[in-house]
Structure 1
Amino acid sequence: MTGEYDLAVLFAGMEPVLGDDIWLFVTLPDRTRAARLDAILRFEEAEGTTLIVTEAVAQAEGLDGVFPSRMITLNVHSALEAVGFLAPIATRLAAEGMGVNPVAGFFHDHLFIPADRAEDAMRVLRAMRAEGQPSSRT
């Protein structure tokens, strides 16, 4: 099951969906503890395990999280090898003054956007979809 490579098709078919949860990025040096936590993402780094967890999980576990964010799922099946899909998105969001932490899943790309800028990000993504092509214009 392969995803789409054509950027025009990807942008025209992109259906961004904003999730309700607030997510936090945390790190734990204790890999055993990290493995027990409910996380949407787990990534092993030399310094410890990076997790993306809900605000509720972080609070319940007494974890100090950073980058309170909301997740936007792009809902278009992009190929993992597709070139140039996320770069114009990150560029447009940067032009709006917001950082983005993208995560590629097998079927979809997901964007972690500052929680207080999520609606702004959705506006940008809808505009990019309407344009049907990658663009760094604001």
Structure 2
Amino acid sequence: MSGEADRDKLLAGMRPELRPGTFVFATVAEGAMPADLVPVMSFREAEGTTLILSEAEAARAGLPAAFPCRWITLAVQSALDAVGFLAAVTARLAERGIAVNAVSAFHHDHLFVPLARAEETMEVLQDLAGGA
């Protein structure tokens, strides 16, 4: 399945969706992830496995968590080899001083932004899509 690769079409077609809930980043040692955890994302690094999961799930598992955030899905099918889409999005957020942790998945790109800046981020993204 292929997605859109044209940056301008991606920006114009972007429909940001603010997901419910609060999410956090945590890390566990290799092979130490509790079996009942269902993270949104996991990624193995040399220092351990990074998890993005709900704040409640991290608390239940007793995991130290960082960066309480909201999850925004950029609902446009982007190609995995698309050039400049996330750069344009993150540059616009950087202009506003909004931190963002971006994750590219097979179908969509996802942004994790500070709790207090989620609504502002949605406005910036909607403006960016409208102006593309």
What TM-score results when the alignment is normalised by the length of structure 1? Answer: 0.91
User: Is the Cα contact below 8 Å between 1:28 and 1:34 reproduced in 2?
Assistant: no
Give the direction of change, closer, same or farther, for the CA distance of 1:62–1:32 in structure 2 (3 Å limit). Answer: closer
Aligned to 1:26: 26
Query: Which digits, 9 at most, give the CA deviation of each residue in 1:79-133, with x for residues without a partner?
Result: 000000001111111111111000011110000011110001000000000111x
User: Is the Cα contact below 8 Å between 2:34 and 2:61 reproduced in 1?
Assistant: no
User: Is the Cα contact below 8 Å between 1:34 and 1:49 reproduced in 2?
Assistant: no
Q: CA deviation at 1:31?
A: 1.8
Aligned to 2:116: 116
Separation in structure 1 between the aligned mates of residue 92 and residue 84 of structure 2, nearest angstrom: 13
Overall identity of the aligned pairs, in % = 48
Aligned to 1:95: 95
Separation in structure 2 between the aligned mates of residue 122 and residue 17 of structure 1, nearest angstrom: 8
CA RMSD of aligned residues (A): 1.1
Aligned to 2:44: 44
Separation in structure 2 between the aligned mates of residue 34 and residue 59 of structure 1, nearest angstrom: 12
Separation in structure 2 between the aligned mates of residue 60 and residue 35 of structure 1, nearest angstrom: 13
Give the direction of change, closer, same or farther, for the CA distance of 1:35–1:44 in structure 2 (3 Å limit). Answer: farther
Once the two structures are superposed, the pairs formed by residues 48-59 of structure 1 within 5 Å of their partners are 48-59=48-59
Separation in structure 2 between the aligned mates of residue 120 and residue 21 of structure 1, nearest angstrom: 16
Separation in structure 2 between the aligned mates of residue 112 and residue 99 of structure 1, nearest angstrom: 8
Gaps of 5+ in 1: 133-138
Give the direction of change, closer, same or farther, for the CA distance of 1:67–1:112 in structure 2 (3 Å limit). Answer: same
Counterpart residue type for residue 10 of structure 1 = L
Aligned to 2:70: 70
Q: CA deviation at 1:48?
A: 0.7
User: Is the Cα contact below 8 Å between 1:28 and 1:48 reproduced in 2?
Assistant: yes
Point out 4+ residue stretches in structure 1 off by more than 4 angstroms: none
What TM-score results when the alignment is normalised by the length of structure 2? Answer: 0.95
Gaps of 5+ in 2: none
Counterpart residue type for residue 70 of structure 1 = R
